[in-house]
Chains A and B, each alone.
Chain A
């Protein structure tokens, strides 16, 4: 399902009762960390966790998060011209009837990047 919010652990209240305090942008709530105590290395103050209905569901891996973002930003360098077009004139790219973009880029098909796909 759904509404899971990243929050940072700012206090461990009682580990035997699995109680901790998480902070989301300045809002604090007690959460139950039972489900993440088994994470490798245990959990500690400063860790980021995904919170759902008052429970920490998993620890958010900051390295993976950074990798995901950089993968996405990598894409940008392949399409500098188009991005300039976007910046100038809104999000529409002219298409023909099959949905293929008109005025295909003149440059050759870019080499596939060494796969940065996070998996």
Chain B
């Protein structure tokens, strides 16, 4: 597959890793501590675990998984609201696959579906709109989640709905923005990070300029990275070179898809359809101001929160939950007191365990034994035999 296979080439990977080792060795000697780079994107967490990147990297470089999973950070109360809408009579509730298993305070959308709610999985918000067009006598609601990567798709869908005069369609909006949680993490007093891997696909929309505060105010380099294993390794090389050279700036590794100014058309659709909520609660991080989107006045008629009764009850995370610390990279999943016992992927307590991109779930599902050196499998009967 073009643009994918070449970025998974193990030979090129070894070259990158060798460079990282050399750069990191020098840096570690000067600093007296290993390097910690944070990625803030669920997609990066996924790639890192899927390909076992952490055990290809030298022990001098550690990857910390930040709050990049827009599914995980949705508080239980909002999931309860979604389920309440799904259970309203006549409603067809549409959602991405990722959200279906996220538990609210008593059940998930999947369980509500099993009990008779008409919950349907869609791949695109346009599919949800199509369902509305094909079912004029039903109310169709779309559960919108995601960062700035996904929000323009919801926006275009709403623009289309309005243009076509569709009235039986609405959106339950839980889009969040990437800059505020990154800022919240940087503000944390117990944090020690040496740099950031920037979220490549969010950047196709917002570009690279919004991250300038990271080096500018907080003195940490940031490299916007793509999602193939080589992209991540190259971004780490670029971060290490910045540290070696004493530079501190925003760089773009994902040049094949990201330009500095982002996608002006996409940004315009966001302005046309959404406005910032004054504040929004993030599971594990608490209330963050100006961090989430809601439909603006021109699209009131499409706002599910206005069309339907939602309980709007805030459900606090259990006291035992230490997600906030994991999200900030302060503790590791196994340091959390409930990790692996009360909190497992089947019975998640907090956001980090909820979706497979959360730091704890990823570690539990994929990474528990990855410290092991990779010992290749012999694929024939006897070593001497030529396959």
Query: With an 8 A cutoff between CB atoms, is B81 at the interface?
Result: no
Query: With an 8 A cutoff between CB atoms, is B297 at the interface?
Result: no
Residues on A with C-beta less than 8 A from B153 are: 32, 35, 52-55
Chain A interface residue count, CB cutoff 8 Å, equals 54
Query: With an 8 A cutoff between CB atoms, is B241 at the interface?
Result: yes
Q: Which of B16-24, B103-111, B184-192, B314-322 contacts A (4 or more CB under 8 A)?
A: B16-24
Residues on A with C-beta less than 8 A from B266 are: 35, 57
Which residues of A in the span 66-119 have a Cβ within 8 Å of any Cβ on B?
A: 67-69, 71-73, 75-76, 78-79, 82-83, 86, 90-93, 95, 98-101, 117-119
- A71 to B226 Cα, complex, angstroms: 15
Query: With an 8 A cutoff between CB atoms, is A45 at the interface?
Result: no
Of B19, B68, B230, B257, most buried by chain A (CB within 10 Å of CB) is B257
Please determine whether A101 and B156 come into contact, CB atoms closer than 8 angstroms.
no
Please determine whether B256 and A52 come into contact, CB atoms closer than 8 angstroms.
no
Residue of B nearest to A96 (CB): B25
- A100 to B30 Cα, complex, angstroms: 11
Interface size class on chain B is 35 or more
- A47 to B234 Cα, complex, angstroms: 25
Please determine whether B16 and A72 come into contact, CB atoms closer than 8 angstroms.
yes
Which residues of B in the span 62-105 have a Cβ within 8 Å of any Cβ on A?
A: 68, 70, 96
Which residues of B in the span 9-31 have a Cβ within 8 Å of any Cβ on A?
A: 11-12, 14-19, 21-22, 24-25, 28-29
- A71 to B58 Cα, complex, angstroms: 21
- A56 to B198 Cα, complex, angstroms: 20
- A54 to B150 Cα, complex, angstroms: 10
Please determine whether A99 and B146 come into contact, CB atoms closer than 8 angstroms.
no
Q: Which of B121-129, B286-294, B334-342 contacts A (4 or more CB under 8 A)?
A: B121-129
Given contacts A6-B2, A93-B58, contact A58 B16 (CB under 8 A): no
Please determine whether B257 and A4 come into contact, CB atoms closer than 8 angstroms.
yes
Q: Quick one: which of B43, B56, B269 contacts A35, CB cutoff 8 A?
A: B269
- Chain B, 32-61, contact with A by CB distance < 8 Å: what is the 0/1 string? 101000000111101000000001101110
Q: B177 to nearest A CB, angstroms?
A: 11
Residue of A nearest to B43 (CB): A2
Of B43, B153, B205, most buried by chain A (CB within 10 Å of CB) is B153
Residues on A with C-beta less than 8 A from B375 are: 90
Residue of B nearest to A62 (CB): B256
Q: A100 to nearest B CB, angstroms?
A: 4
Q: A48 to nearest B CB, angstroms?
A: 7
- A4 to B58 Cα, complex, angstroms: 28
Residue of A nearest to B252 (CB): A119
Query: With an 8 A cutoff between CB atoms, is A10 at the interface?
Result: no
Residue of B nearest to A99 (CB): B60
Please determine whether B152 and A35 come into contact, CB atoms closer than 8 angstroms.
yes
Query: With an 8 A cutoff between CB atoms, is A15 at the interface?
Result: no
Please determine whether A52 and B150 come into contact, CB atoms closer than 8 angstroms.
yes
Query: With an 8 A cutoff between CB atoms, is B384 at the interface?
Result: no
Please determine whether B204 and A4 come into contact, CB atoms closer than 8 angstroms.
yes
Please determine whether A34 and B12 come into contact, CB atoms closer than 8 angstroms.
no
Please determine whether B201 and A68 come into contact, CB atoms closer than 8 angstroms.
no
Query: With an 8 A cutoff between CB atoms, is A13 at the interface?
Result: no
Please determine whether B256 and A117 come into contact, CB atoms closer than 8 angstroms.
no
Residues on B with C-beta less than 8 A from A65 are: 3, 256
- A82 to B199 Cα, complex, angstroms: 31
- Chain B, 134-153, contact with A by CB distance < 8 Å: what is the 0/1 string? 00000000000011111011
Listed A/B pairs (28) with beta-carbon separation below 8 Å: A1-B70, A2-B41, A2-B201, A2-B357, A4-B204, A32-B126, A35-B263, A35-B266, A38-B263, A48-B2, A48-B3, A53-B150, A53-B153, A57-B152, A57-B201, A68-B231, A69-B12, A72-B233, A75-B16, A82-B18, A83-B14, A91-B55, A91-B374, A95-B59, A101-B21, A101-B22, A118-B253, A119-B252
List of 4 A-B pairs having minimum Cβ-Cβ separation, nearest first? A54-B124, A2-B43, A76-B15, A99-B60
Residues of A within 8 A of B (CB): 1-6, 8, 18, 24-25, 32, 34-38, 48, 50, 52-55, 57-58, 60-62, 64-65, 67-69, 71-73, 75-76, 78-79, 82-83, 86, 90-93, 95, 98-101, 117-119
Known: A54-B123, A61-B256, A100-B28. 12 other contacts (CB 8 A): A1-B201, A2-B41, A35-B266, A55-B156, A58-B258, A68-B231, A78-B15, A82-B18, A90-B375, A92-B373, A95-B58, A99-B25
